[in-house]
Structure 1
Amino acid sequence: MLFAVLVLVGCGKQENVVPSVPVNFRASRTDPRFSALNSIGGSVVISGYGVAGLLLYKQADGTITCYDRCSSYQPEKLCAVSPDNTGFTATDPCSGAKFSLSDGSPVKAPATKYLRSYVVNATQFEIFVSN
């Protein structure tokens, strides 16, 4: 009986979490669509991967980070964040929440959770994104 209770409790659906989906993206750094990543604070939006697309961002230290565009605030709505003109934040168009592109942290309510991030391996010639 205790086992059945533990299984039922352990299998409860976790709400308000961006789903984990397989991501395996590869691109050439010489592709003109990725030229924004040549500058600090540059960002590129990629559709068709992750939950709501990917957002690649060039950090101040020259590394590239990647976030799922699905807002962590009410992720079931699948609202895709978009980079702001400032080059430092991204905004959820559904709620107005803002996220820091330096680490994916929420910087404006109502969001309280980080954006989902992915592993980025960048060489001189290619960018690989996975989880």
Structure 2
Amino acid sequence: MRKLIIIILTGVCFFSCGKTGDVVPSIPVDYTGQIFSPPLNKLSNGGPPQFIPGYGVAGLVIYKTIRGTYVAYDRCSSYQPEKKCAVNIDDSGLTLVDPCSGSKFSLEDGSPVKAPATKVLRRYQVIQTQFTIEVVN
């Protein structure tokens, strides 16, 4: 009987200790934009990332990587996402910065490059055709 109680208590402790609040919520996204029309036309010429409001938690950021592929992230910082701090492009043009914590994220893959953030930005799937970009999750 004692062993059973210990096993049950260990199981309860094991399953109740995880952090579940530090994740950017998954909100359905279905955005389609024309590559050669505003606001995405700047991306086709190697311009800065473009911010698209009204999608996801804090809007989208769409970027054309060095390899020529498009990536899309939720602008909501992965550090304390409950605050819904929207990341912005920093002065270098290579990273996104969380104005609430000072965390920085790589535009290439969304990974944190400056603490306190330790998790990547929420990334969305990008489907590219000859003339359009579709962002979905």
Structure 1 length-normalised TM: 0.87
Q: How many angstroms does 1:34 deviate by?
A: 1.4
Q: How many angstroms does 1:35 deviate by?
A: 2.0
Moved over 4 A (4+): none
Q: Name which of 60, 63, 71 aligns with 2:66.
A: 60
1:12-51 equivalences in 2 (<5 Å): 14-40=20-46, 42-51=48-57
Q: How many angstroms does 1:64 deviate by?
A: 0.4
1:107-118 equivalences in 2 (<5 Å): 107-118=113-124
Quote the residue 1:82 is aligned against: 88
Q: Deviations over 1:3-38 (max 9, x none)?
A: xx88xx58x881110001101101111212212211
Structure (1 or 2) with the larger CA radius of gyration = 2
Paired with 1:110 and 1:13, the residues of 2 have a C-alpha distance of: 16
Larger mean Cα displacement after TM superposition, 36-45 or 86-95? 36-45
Quote the residue 1:98 is aligned against: 104
Gaps of 5+ in 1: none
Paired with 1:85 and 1:59, the residues of 2 have a C-alpha distance of: 18
SS where residue 76 of structure 1 aligns?
helix
SS where residue 129 of structure 1 aligns?
strand
Paired with 1:54 and 1:32, the residues of 2 have a C-alpha distance of: 15
- Number of positions where the alignment pairs a residue of Structure 1 with one of Structure 2: 125
Larger mean Cα displacement after TM superposition, 31-40 or 52-61? 31-40
Verify the 8 A CA contact 1:18 1:72 in the aligned structure 2: yes
Gaps of 5+ in 2: 1-7
